[in-house]
Amino acid sequence: MNTKKFFRKRLDTIFWGLLLIWWGLRWSVLAALPEGSGLLGTSLLLFGANVALKFTGLRVNSNNTFFGILSLLSGGALVVISALRLSFELPVFETILIALGVVLLGYAILYNKPQTSGEA
């Protein structure tokens, strides 16, 4: 196994270990934290995984970036809503998922034109 594959596998294992520990702590010991703090911690871990990949010279994982942004937006909105103590519940996570889905569909339809080449 080459060195880059070894480091990527090792970083992936470390990341998943940290993520599972964070989720376990968040749902048990840190249950008193405001709603959305679990997603904020998850986004920090996702972005941290990309920083570790970048510093080791490996390619950054676009899935980590995508889900990091998704969890950052969702968690941030939930923390703000929790702090405002609204009397009604907003479907924040679901709304962000729908918005991101619309953006992805729009991108796929409008910007992914087939490449023309001389081969038939």
- Band the pLDDT of 5: cuts 50, 70, 90: confident
Taking only the tens place, the pLDDT of each residue in 30-66 is: 888 888 889 999 999 999 999 998 998 888 888 888 8
The Cα 82–Cα 93 span in angstroms is 14
pLDDT computed for residue 117 by the predictor: 64
CA distance 34 to 117: 54
Provide the pLDDT for residue 114.
Answer: 65
Each domain of the chain, given as residue ranges in start order, spans 3-110
Q: Check residue 1 and give its pLDDT.
A: 63
Neighbours of 40 (CB within 10 A): 19
Over the stretch 59-105, which tens digit does the pLDDT of each residue have? 888 888 888 988 898 888 888 888 887 777 777 777 878 888 888 78
- The answer to whether residues 81 and 90 touch, using CB atoms and an 8 Å cutoff, is yes
Residue among 95, 30, 104 nearest 112 (CA) = 104
Give the integer Cα–Cα distance in Å for 77 and 71.
Answer: 10
Q: What is the pLDDT of residue 46?
A: 94
Return the structure tokens found at 43. 């986004």
Report the chain's mean pLDDT, rounded to a whole number. Answer: 84
pLDDT at 19 over 70: yes
* pTM assigned to the model: 0.72
